């Protein structure tokens, strides 16, 4: 080791090379390129040394054990998933409190005692195998289910008899971003997969050439039929849909993660092979809702930035024959289901949920009454179902799961967890502030009642701002514990997200990505100006695209924050296209191949903008060694660059979780450890008493 800072921290040596790329005539140094070889002996030794330093530091935080104990206490409550009905079987997940993974339960009716159907917990000693998806055959006899290990996006799929709980011999591999869709004869299902990666490259290699396959129950995967592939379009991704009436097989086709998609269709059992490209201009979002015979309903933002519902008749599919069913409103339309002969539409209004019911001809029927200002999930079902289910949660309460009778408008509680705290002791307010260019941006601010705005409260600010995803109210034990300790929790609703439709999203993409960082910096300044906190007591954080947010704001305004946590972040903006699914993010970030977009990417790329001699605030970078969504070398390289550039005494550390990925499917034990360490780092460096 060598002394890597002016302060007391002896950072592991990060070998610096003279590697330089020349991009559009610009020389771009990349001195830590070697850290992209994540399984090399040198990189593994570097990870071990960094973890030794980080966990040694965290182990000396006096409050860490108290935080862990209280986190575990608060975590220990029943957690329920939203039920849905397939093949005459009700399915829902339940976690008894501290189980590493939730268990899938089934029942034939709502009056029956639920029976455990799939329990991932015994599949690994450390709880790192997670259930990722399920699909029940129409006759209710078989369930196909996916599993992932160590947080990877890769899935293995198997088939289980529902009555006996016995698995068949079927085993499908190299499935990613896919779900099964059974055929009407119950003999098999459609799914999408990639080719097997080269040895040692499963967590690094870029993923191209996804294909739709058909698996017949009882046959080996090697005999699966390729139903559709497009080697001429290697970036295309497919999602299979079989209509409720079992007549049609649809493909929703996306170019990477671009929201604009196409819809291809074929009639099952017609004897005709191949798909008709029903919608193939990729000019808008087209989300299939359902069909009545040959009339198909789609949610779209075509000529409606906030979203609307249209119908397309297969007998006259030309655009001039399309009909508007539910018109655009001033709220952003996020989801529509066709249940009980009604459209149930979920909207985002100023970053919280509203739900409306419309008849099949588009006439407004009613609002679904919700418990308050929060976030709903669910409302799935089929055209003929009389009921549906949803969950409602807020920043302060994990909420309950409800059954909704579509015909009578009656809502009843399906399951409500018993909590170990009183949500009434806390409050959430929504504020609006002005960004650098004057744009009005909403933000949720939550805290314990009786908080005095003295300008010195510890505050935790987070955001996302990307990929048309709205930052909705969401309960977190970590955030609850933070508020219990007297902290302010703030969630900014930044441009680039989906809070206000297509225009809001596009205002934070590509050449306009800086708007997202300006929105977040303005949120921090607003919290300080309005005396919720001050710089020495302000922590900022973000995950994934939000990790990019935290990293970019760190290098742009290191003077503004007391602590920074970039979590599983995209941090090398000139190389993100090279790994796993990164090429798909060009829709939001732009591409190095474009000279103007390259210039914009280089201007904010956190890895390339760590300035030597700068005094940075305390920083904890986190990633997982099995993250095949955001390649972990993003965090490795950024940590090396930050430690080399840092001129202050504050710690700049990286925490590399082993047998962990991007976050999905992470066991409860690992989540408690991760959140404990994050809060321990924050309270130690903000001087929070707990």
Strand partners, 103: 94
Nearest to 590 by CA among 257, 177, 236, 207: 257
Nearest to 616 by CA among 562, 544, 658, 668: 562
Q: Identify whether 24 is a catalytic site residue.
A: no
Tell how strand 115-118 and strand 103-107 pair up.
Answer: antiparallel
Burial of residue 413 (number of CB atoms within 10 Å: 0-12, 13-18, 19+)? exposed
Q: Identify whether 662 is a catalytic site residue.
A: yes
Tell how strand 387-393 and strand 375-378 pair up.
Answer: antiparallel
Nearest to 126 by CA among 667, 672, 675: 667
- Other C-beta atoms within 10 Å of 647: how many? 13
Residues 221 and 239: their CA atoms lie apart, in Å, by 19
Burial of residue 320 (number of CB atoms within 10 Å: 0-12, 13-18, 19+)? exposed
Nearest to 676 by CA among 17, 61, 48, 16: 61
Residues 14 and 375: their CA atoms lie apart, in Å, by 44
Reduce the DSSP state of residue 381 to 3 states and report it: coil
First-to-last alpha carbon distance for the chain, in angstroms, is: 34
Burial of residue 599 (number of CB atoms within 10 Å: 0-12, 13-18, 19+)? middle
Q: Are 543 and 567 in contact (CB under 8 A)?
A: yes
Which DSSP letter does residue 15 get?
A: -
Residue found under tokens 């976050």:
663
Residues 459 and 447: their CA atoms lie apart, in Å, by 9
Q: Which residues of 280-301 are buried (b: 16+ CB within 10 A; e: fewer)?
A: eebebbbbbbbbeeeebbbbbb
Please say whether the dihedral angle defined by the alpha carbons of residues 88, 92, 96 and 99, taken in this order, is positive or negative: positive
**Tokens matching residue 41:** 């002996």
Q: In whole angstroms, how far apart are CA 479 and each of 72, 461, 473?
A: 13, 11, 12
User: What are the φ/ψ torsions at residue 164 (nearest 5 degrees)?
Assistant: -95, -20
Nearest to 189 by CA among 152, 227, 235: 227
Q: In whole angstroms, how far apart are CA 202 and each of 37, 124, 279, 418, 636?
A: 13, 21, 33, 42, 18
Residues 328 and 309: their CA atoms lie apart, in Å, by 8
DSSP states along 109-152: STTSPPEEEE--GGG-TTS-EEEEEEEE-TTSSEEEEEEEETT-
Residues 454 and 645: their CA atoms lie apart, in Å, by 34
Please say whether the dihedral angle defined by the alpha carbons of residues 513, 516, 519 and 525, taken in this order, is positive or negative: negative
- Other C-beta atoms within 10 Å of 594: how many? 15
Which residue in 544, 587, 605, 635 is the catalytic one? 544
Residues 107 and 225: their CA atoms lie apart, in Å, by 33
Residues involved in catalysis: 544, 662
């Amino acid at each position: 080791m060598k002394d890597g800072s002016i302060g007391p921290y002896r950072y592991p040596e990060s070998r610096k090379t003279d590697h330089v790329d020349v991009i559009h005539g610009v020389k771009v140094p990349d001195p830590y390129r070697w850290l992209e070889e994540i399984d090399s002996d040198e990189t593994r030794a570097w990870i071990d040394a960094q973890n030794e330093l980080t966990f040694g530091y965290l182990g000396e935080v006096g409050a860490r054990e108290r935080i862990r104990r209280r986190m575990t206490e608060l975590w220990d409550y029943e957690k329920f998933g939203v039920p849905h009905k397939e093949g005459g079987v009700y399915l829902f997940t339940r976690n008894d409190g501290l189980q590493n993974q939730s268990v899938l339960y089934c029942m034939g009716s709502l009056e029956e005692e639920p029976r455990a159907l799939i329990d991932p917990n015994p599949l690994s000693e450390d709880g790192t195998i997670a259930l990722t998806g399920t699909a029940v055959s129409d006759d209710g006899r078989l369930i196909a289910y996916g599993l992932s290990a160590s947080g990877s996006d890769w899935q293995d799929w198997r088939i289980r008899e529902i009555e006996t709980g016995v698995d068949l011999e079927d085993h499908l591999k190299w499935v990613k971003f896919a779900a099964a869709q059974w055929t009407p004869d119950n003999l098999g299902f459609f799914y999408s997969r990639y080719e097997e990666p080269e040895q040692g490259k499963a967590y690094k290699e870029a993923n191209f050439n996804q294909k739709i396959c058909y698996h017949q129950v009882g046959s080996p995967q090697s005999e699966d039929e390729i139903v559709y592939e497009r080697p001429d379009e290697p970036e295309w991704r497919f999602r299979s849909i079989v209509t409720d009436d079992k007549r049609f097989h649809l493909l929703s086709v996306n170019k990477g993660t671009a929201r604009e998609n196409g819809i291809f269709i074929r009639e099952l059992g017609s004897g005709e092979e191949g798909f008709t490209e029903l919608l193939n201009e990729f000019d808008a979002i087209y989300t299939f809702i359902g069909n009545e015979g040959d009339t198909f309903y789609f949610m779209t933002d075509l000529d409606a930035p906030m979203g609307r519902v249209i119908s397309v008749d297969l007998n006259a599919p030309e655009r001039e024959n399309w009909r508007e069913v539910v018109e655009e409103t001033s709220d952003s339309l996020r989801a529509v289901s066709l249940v009980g002969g009604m459209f149930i539409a979920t909207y985002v209004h100023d970053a919280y949920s509203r739900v409306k019911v419309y008849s099949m001809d588009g006439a407004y029927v009613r609002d679904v009454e919700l418990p308050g200002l929060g976030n709903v999930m669910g409302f799935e079902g089929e055209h003929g179902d009389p009921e549906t289910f949803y969950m409602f949660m807020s920043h302060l309460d994990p909420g309950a799961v409800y059954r909704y009778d579509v015909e009578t408008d009656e809502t009843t509680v399906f399951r409500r967890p018993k909590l170990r705290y009183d949500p009434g002791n806390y409050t959430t307010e929504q504020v609006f502030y002005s960004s650098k260019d004057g744009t009005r941006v909403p933000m949720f601010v939550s805290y314990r009642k009786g908080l005095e705005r003295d300008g010195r409260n510890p505050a935790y600010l987070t955001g996302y701002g990307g990929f048309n995803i709205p930052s909705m109210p969401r309960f977190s034990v970590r955030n609850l514990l933070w508020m219990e300790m007297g902290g302010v929790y703030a969630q900014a609703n930044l441009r680039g997200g989906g809070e206000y439709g297509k225009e809001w999203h596009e205002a934070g993409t590509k050449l306009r990505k800086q708007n997202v960082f300006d929105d977040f910096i303005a949120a921090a300044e607003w919290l300080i100006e309005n005396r919720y906190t001050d710089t020495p007591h302000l922590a900022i954080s973000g995950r994934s695209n939000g990790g990019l947010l935290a990293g970019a704001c760190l290098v742009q305004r290191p003077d503004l924050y007391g602590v920074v946590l970039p979590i599983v972040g995209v941090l090398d903006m000139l190389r993100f296209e090279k790994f796993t699914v990164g090429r798909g993010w060009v829709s939001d970030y732009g591409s190095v191949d474009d000279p103007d977009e390259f210039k914009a990417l280089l201007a904010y790329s956190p890895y390339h903008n760590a300035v030597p001699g700068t005094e940075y605030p305390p920083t904890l970078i986190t990633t997982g060694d099995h993250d095949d969504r955001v390649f972990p070398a993003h965090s490795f390289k950024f940590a090396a660059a930050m430690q080399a550039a840092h001129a202050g005494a504050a710690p700049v550390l990286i925490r590399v979780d082993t047998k962990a990925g991007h976050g999905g499917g992470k066991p409860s034990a690992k989540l408690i450890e991760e959140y404990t360490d994050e809060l321990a780092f924050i309270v130690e460096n903000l001087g929070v008493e707990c």
